[in-house]
Amino acid sequence: MPASDRGAVALRRGENQAQVAGLLLEGVPGGRGQGDGHREVVGHGGGQAHRGGQGTPADDGTGSQHRADESASTVFVWQQIALAAVLAAGTLICAVLWFSTTMLVLVAAINVAVALAVGAKALISTVGTAWETVEQVTDAEVAALVDTELPVYTILVPVYKEAGIVGLLMRNLADLDYPREKLEILLLLEEDDPETLAAALAAAPPDFVRIVVVPHSMPKTKPRACNVGLAFAHGEYVVIYDAEDRPDADQLKKSLIAFRKGGDDLVCVQAALNYFNAKENLLTRMFTLEYSSWFDYTLAGLDKLRLPIPLGGTSNHFRTDMLRDLGGWDPYNVTEDADLGIRASAQGHRVAVVNSTTYEEANMAVGNWIRQRSRWIKGYMQTVLVHTRHPWRLLGAVGPRQAAGFALLIGGTPLMFLASPWLYAMFVVQLIWPGLLTGTLPSWLVTVSMGNLLLGNGVIIYLSLLAGFKRRSYALVPFALFSPIYWLLHSIAAYKGAWQLVTKPFYWEKTNHGLSSHVQPEPVEVRGAVPAEDSATTWSAGRRHAAAERQDGVRPSAIAGGLSRLGLSSEEQA
Amino acid sequence: MNDVANPLAALRSGASSAEAESFAEARVALAVRGATPPHVPMRRVLLTCSGLLVTEVAVMLATDQSLHDTLLPGYLILMVAFALVFCLGAVTVAGFPAGAAAAGLVALEVGNLLPLLAGAALLALVCGVAPGWARVEAWQAAHTKPLTSEQEAAVAQRGLNGDARRGWAPGVRLRNYWRADRVLAAFLVLAFPPSIMAFALWFVGWTATR
């Protein structure tokens, strides 16, 4: 197969590691070793920015096709800029001429935004709670599957600068209950990350793991790497996992059954996400409560109400052909998953949830958390801007109920975070200088604002209480009372995200993983390839260890230091 | 086939206390693997509650009662019914209408708060020993935690022996352990809505009169 100077390179086990590392360091992927039978090259010039004309399918540099007006590559269209300018100028002029009335309208608008967003979340989550013991897929259905009749499943794992947890990733994926001959794992590495490549090669994965080196280009985002992976995928179904993910062992099989039961319009099945390091500190506890509420109640409610589901960043399973028809992920959108969920709905497809959980590492540092959350909120803003470019078209495509659900959830969420501090400011002013606000605003509006703030916080606290209770994480439940503080952190992240939307719209705030004491980075031991039978032993041992680790909560590093050592320690234990 | 060693048949002699504890947990985990959550016919509960409410409102309106007097028993019916479903039926979502109804009672009369909190505490204590919650927890644990290799071996052994009806290890039963954390969590779920309602009423009234 011919190699391209800027093409993605897929490596199989046995590839000359030193040669590849050398190529990466030289910045000339695929420049040598052509036609050696181990390397595939797909895709096109990765350095080309995605700037196609409106309505014209444009190449994003990875083989995926996007309509430019469905991509966040253009942040604002002129109509949106004009509307924002008119609103800003109008507000300014009105404030000069009729200050009290303008303030009344602004405060009322903030109240309406917060009340609608909180109300929608409460309503959707309440519907979700009603199905708390319903299993979309039962164990009996999983047991009835015949391995020989299963389709090929592709797992995409984008990894960047995460050399320390590659070995752990291999172990976690080895825990999956799926026939190895039907499994294809694509490890998506970036060209400028030779350390992770070295670690991946040192882990000596078996043949069904392929390492794909994504050529350097901008924007350097996870969705761009996933699009490259999608071009390589041979599976009938494809799923994305992050480097630190620990999916339930039967997740692939459950998703497969969910697809079979879900009908032809079902494009994606989303598994629940939760955290394995919930009790590490206050932030991880709050994050876990939030995720429990979001994935167990809110997404379940969206599913039952047949509203558009913004996908989570990982553990979303797709029908590969339908995903390709949708154009893959938008590499310019920093929450490409949420965007894809909405785009799928707009094209008449459906997203469902499945009763399986992937355990991730909760962010345990405030700075790291704000970086991650500002990216998510910025991505929601991008998604709203993209899908409201043609509001009438959206309304016609998805209908008024779904459009309202999209506006309230995707649009309402950042709006609520941006608006909340102003309500808090009013609260503080009212506490310290009673009567000051009523000099400008009618007293009924001040009362409504205070009530709105209290009620909104009450709803958020209560949903977290219920979510913790439902997961039987009783020890976490009292921490739900800290939700107002946690939500103020969201507001900080929202303002950062809004600022970045203007200044650095495509900048991907990298989340640092491996900070938890549950995920101690393992020393990378670069060595040559190992025989196939050795790696097979390693993988089965890894599976047993991952199961034991989850059951017992033992730190991975306490079990074994690296993938290569697992095989030995396992045999010794046996 | 029956002579295959079962790793969970008996604790080896000379085992440490930690090993004994782990062994006991493993036996319980295996025993509860077949546990199912209690099934509460929520549709029937909703219909019964609706019927009671409609009757109550009709009677109160027919006897020319005030809105306050009409709402009071209505909220009471909802609160008691769903609080019982929450505690005995182990349905988390039932805590939502129970709490909302309690908040409604406080909105009618703030003086109801203390008796309501006392009632919530009593129900939370019931939750601490309610068998329904133990069954739900066992069912959930069996669905979220993979078995260890030892437990897998024991399950396989149980299959070989044709004994799939109950826990493999004799004498292991699903027991109701006192769960103080569950009591506190249940209290918060039941008591939070009336408390926040009382606080909101107090705060708004306080700021208005300053």
N- to C-terminal Cα separation, chain B: 82
Structure token pair of residue A429: 């002013």
Distance from CA of B115 to the nearest CA of A (A): 21
As a three-state string, the secondary structure of A100-154 is HHHHHHHHHHHHHHHHHHHHHHHHHHHHHHCCCCCCCCCHHHHHCCCHHHCCCEE
Closest chain B residue by Cα to residue A452: B200
Structure token pair of residue A559: 């079990």
Per residue of chain A (574 residues), what is the pLDDT tens digit?
Answer: 333 334 455 554 444 443 343 333 333 333 333 333 333 333 333 333 232 333 333 444 544 455 667 787 788 888 889 999 999 999 999 999 999 899 999 999 999 988 998 999 888 888 887 666 556 788 888 888 998 889 999 999 998 888 777 777 777 888 888 998 899 999 999 888 888 888 888 877 777 888 899 888 777 888 889 999 999 999 999 999 988 888 888 899 999 999 998 888 899 999 988 888 888 889 999 999 998 888 888 888 888 888 888 888 789 999 999 999 988 888 888 888 888 888 888 888 888 888 888 888 888 889 989 999 999 999 999 999 988 888 888 888 888 888 888 888 888 889 999 999 999 999 899 888 887 888 888 888 988 898 889 889 999 999 899 888 888 888 899 999 999 999 999 999 999 999 999 998 888 777 766 666 655 554 444 333 333 333 333 333 333 333 333 333 333 332 222 222 222 222 333 2
Residues in B closer than 8 angstroms to A458, CB to CB, are 192-193, 196, 200
Q: Report pLDDT for A437.
A: 83
Residues in A closer than 8 angstroms to B93, CB to CB, are 126, 129-130, 132, 466
The Cα–Cα gap between B99 and B67 comes to 21
The Cα–Cα gap between A424 and A429 comes to 9
Please report how many Cα atoms fall inside a 13 Å half-sphere around the Cα of residue A33, on the Cβ side: 23
pLDDT digits (tens, 9 = 90+) for B165-209: 433 334 444 455 677 888 999 999 999 999 999 998 888 788 777
Interface of B with A in 43-102 (CB under 8 A): 91-93, 95-96, 99
More confident residue, A206 or B10: A206
Closest chain A residue by Cα to residue B209: A434
Closest chain B residue by Cα to residue A459: B193
Q: Does B145 touch chain A (CB under 8 A)?
A: yes
Subunit contact B189:A465, Cβ cutoff 8 A: yes
Whose tokens are 């391995």? That residue is: A147
Residues in A closer than 8 angstroms to B132, CB to CB, are none
Q: Does B38 touch chain A (CB under 8 A)?
A: no
Subunit contact A357:B95, Cβ cutoff 8 A: no
Residues in A closer than 8 angstroms to B96, CB to CB, are 126, 129, 462, 466
Please count the residue pairs, one from chain A and one from chain B, whose beta carbons lie less than 8 angstroms apart. 105
Residues in B closer than 8 angstroms to A468, CB to CB, are 185
Residues in A closer than 8 angstroms to B91, CB to CB, are 132-133
DSSP character string of A156-202: EEEESS-GGGHHHHHHHHHT--S-GGGEEEEEEEETT-HHHHHHHHH
Residues in A closer than 8 angstroms to B147, CB to CB, are 547, 551
Closest chain A residue by Cα to residue B138: A472
- Provide ipTM, 2 decimals: 0.72
Q: Does B3 touch chain A (CB under 8 A)?
A: no
Residues in A closer than 8 angstroms to B199, CB to CB, are 454
Q: How sure is the predictor about B43, in pLDDT bands with cuts at 50, 70 and 90?
A: confident
Closest chain B residue by Cα to residue A442: B208
> How much of chain B exceeds pLDDT 90, in percent?
23
The Cα–Cα gap between A563 and A168 comes to 7
pLDDT digits (tens, 9 = 90+) for B120-162: 999 989 888 888 887 777 777 666 554 455 555 554 454 444 4
Nearest to A132 among B92, B149, B186 (CB): B92
Q: Report pLDDT for A31.
A: 32
Subunit contact A126:B96, Cβ cutoff 8 A: yes
Q: Does B209 touch chain A (CB under 8 A)?
A: no
Residues in B closer than 8 angstroms to A544, CB to CB, are 149
Burial B93-114 (b: 16+ CB within 10 A, else e): bbbbbbbbbbbbbbbeeeebbe
Give whole-number Cα distances, A486 to A290, A366, A476, in Å.
Answer: 10, 10, 14
Q: Minimal CA–CA distance to A108: which of A471, A571, A446? A: A446
Subunit contact B200:A458, Cβ cutoff 8 A: yes
Q: Report pLDDT for A21.
A: 35
Structure token pair of residue A501: 């939307």
Subunit contact A478:B184, Cβ cutoff 8 A: yes
* Chain A residues interacting with chain B (CB cutoff of 8 angstroms): 126, 129-130, 132-133, 135, 139, 175, 248-249, 355, 357, 430-431, 434-435, 443, 446-447, 450-451, 454-455, 458, 461-462, 465-466, 468-472, 474-475, 477-478, 480-481, 544, 547-548, 550-552
Subunit contact B148:A547, Cβ cutoff 8 A: yes
Subunit contact A466:B196, Cβ cutoff 8 A: no
DSSP character string of A438-478: GGTS-HHHHHHHHHHHHHHHHHHHHHHHHHHHHTT-GGGGG
Q: How sure is the predictor about B34, in pLDDT bands with cuts at 50, 70 and 90?
A: low
Distance from CA of A472 to the nearest CA of B (A): 7
Longest CA–CA separation in chain A, Å: 82
A211 strand-pairing partners: A11, A187
The Cα–Cα gap between A377 and A312 comes to 13
Which one of A438, A462, A483 makes the best mutation probe of the B interface by having the most chain B beta carbons within 10 Å? A462
The Cα–Cα gap between A235 and A435 comes to 66
